[in-house]
Amino acid sequence: MSGGLLVAGTTSDAGKSVLTAGICRWLHRQGVRVAPFKAQNMSNNSAVVVGRDGRGGEIGRAQAMQAAAAGLAPDLRFNPVLLKPGSDLASQVVLLGEAVETVTAGTFRELRPRLAETAYTALAELRAEYDVVICEGAGSPAEINLRAGDYVNMGLARHAGWPTIVVGDIDRGGVFASMFGTVALLAPADQALIAGFVINKFRGDLGLLRPGLDMLRQVTGRPTYGVLPWSLDLWLDAEDSLAYGRVLGRPAAPHGTEWLDVAVVRLPRISNATDVEALATEPGVRVRLTVEPAELAAADLVVLPGSKSTVADLAWLRETGLADAVLAHAAAGKPLLGICGGFQMLAREIHDPVESRLGTVPGLGLLPLEVGFDQRKTVRQSVGSAGPDLPVRGYEIHHGYVSSADPTVTPLITLADGSGEGMVLGAVHGTHWHGAFESDAFRRRFLTEAARLAGRHGFRVATDNVFAVARERSLDLLGDLVEEHLDTDALWRLIETGPPPGLPFIPPGAPPG
């Protein structure tokens, strides 16, 4: 049976996903057969995995990234339960890759035993196949209102008997209080598994931090296993950090004389927004997520990304004035791209009895097509071309489909059987495919055409930029940070021998339930 470790966090986006990936890459480099695991993820960013039955299924994109860090192909068991929020009150439940039902907070409690059993079975299989399993928690283990029935944080650690490290984001402030409070709100049996801490995103003189680390050990009886520095280069596949108004990554200087500015609408229910990260790896391309109509007006290329609730997010576009800004951008002949839900919004009409259940609603009317919705979700990996020498690979995750379209309009991608996918009409482009811009030649041609339509004649694409290399570089950086800044000998002892004995109890512990 394998050894393992749970990476928990003081909050969401504390650094659990990247630390898990970094530990996986470090162990993989040592020749250890290591697998990632997250019992339950809540995210609209997902990746398509081909299951053992040959059918496509979904897991959280972070777990697909962690699999790559471990040198593995993604496996549905790495994230057996995925919750995809469609509104503030309901989420779609994806179980071992397949959407099974939609739940609210009340009905989720009834389903939780089944989900826990599925997660524990998947973990048992991974433990039998791999030397080490590195588990990522969800949110915070100190969410005491959710502890009963938990199978993701301390419930998982208790089930496996594995040690837990707690990571905190010092950039947010209050990291020592949040780490102490995380431990102090846990029941004695849970506290006995909390082995220590990792601090993430530190900037400055480590000597100034050292007294705080010493005092944290004094009051908790637990060490800090290391302090990871802030790194601007860690942004690819960053599941929780797509923020308003921020430029993605660190744009390299343009190869030509002009930049290309890309504005991505930050929809309320944005889904698989990581599509635009491939564009952001290109020199001279600035990609910004925004909710400001004025930023759309100033952009060269506007992107409507995927959405977990197309009709609801389309209504939001209209309420905020962003729809008018999109229409004005298209009317000026400047390039516009819709991906998945964003593509559906460009249609003349949307017939939706599934997600919103609002029936027929008008789309933005920028493409001559109509969209229908099916109860059965399309989940598959796809291959096509955008010309004789431009292969394109992507993946599809959607209930919506093109129910009718003008057959004379040019498809964006041609499939092997000669049929078309997506649509191009003037400067307006749309596709259901996620991940298509990770195909280097296709991305270069698209950006070259977008620059021409935007009048950026001085923009030039790089001919040597390879997205897969950029992703591997990011994963290697994670492994480097773990090796250089964490006590890897101590981490390995935790994995091999389990929780240290005699860890002190920190009062008050979990309140009586």
Question: What phi and psi values does residue 239 have, to the nearest 5 degrees?
Answer: -60, -40
Tell me the residue ranges of DSSP E strands in 132-230.
132-136, 164-169, 194-202, 224-229
Catalytic residues: 340, 434
Dihedral of CA atoms 99, 100, 101, 102 in degrees, nearest 10, equals: -30
**3-class DSSP assignment, residue 216:** helix
The closest alpha carbon to 213, from 203, 224, 202, 227, belongs to 224
Q: Measured between alpha carbons, how far is residue 374 from residues 191, 390, 411, 421 in Å?
A: 47, 31, 22, 18
Contact 4, 35 (CB under 8 A): no
Q: Pull the structure tokens for residue 315.
A: 């209504």
Question: What does the alpha-carbon distance between residue 259 and residue 251 come to, in Å, rounded to a whole number?
Answer: 10
Please count the other Cβ atoms lying within 10 Å of the Cβ belonging to residue 400.
Answer: 26
Residue that has been written with the tokens 């909390």 in this structure: 194
Determine the Cα–Cα distance for residues 1 and 132; give it in Å rounded to an integer: 9
Q: Which residues of 114-144 are buried (b: 16+ CB within 10 A; e: fewer)?
A: ebbebbbebbeebbeebbbbbbbbbbbbbee
Count other Cβ atoms within 10 Å, centred on residue 109. 12
Measured in whole angstroms, the distance separating CA 281 from the mean position of its chain's CA atoms is: 17
Give the closest residue to 316 by CA, choosing from 335, 288, 294, 341. Answer: 341
DSSP string, 370-392: EEEEEEEEEEEEEEEESSTT-EE
Phi-psi category of 480—alpha, beta or left, where left has phi over 0 and alpha has psi -120 to 50?
alpha
Q: Which amino acid is at 34?
A: V
Q: What CA–CA distance (Å, rounded) separates 348 from 339?
A: 16
CA distance 89 to 102: 10
Tokens of 353: 């009895």
The DSSP letter of residue 408 is: T
Work out the end-to-end distance of the chain between its first and last CA atoms, rounded to an integer number of angstroms: 34
| Residue 472, SS3 per DSSP | helix
Phi, psi of 423 (to 5 degrees): -160, 145
Exposed, middle or buried by CB within 10 Å (0-12, 13-18, 19+), for 443? buried
Q: What is the CA radius of gyration of the chain?
A: 23
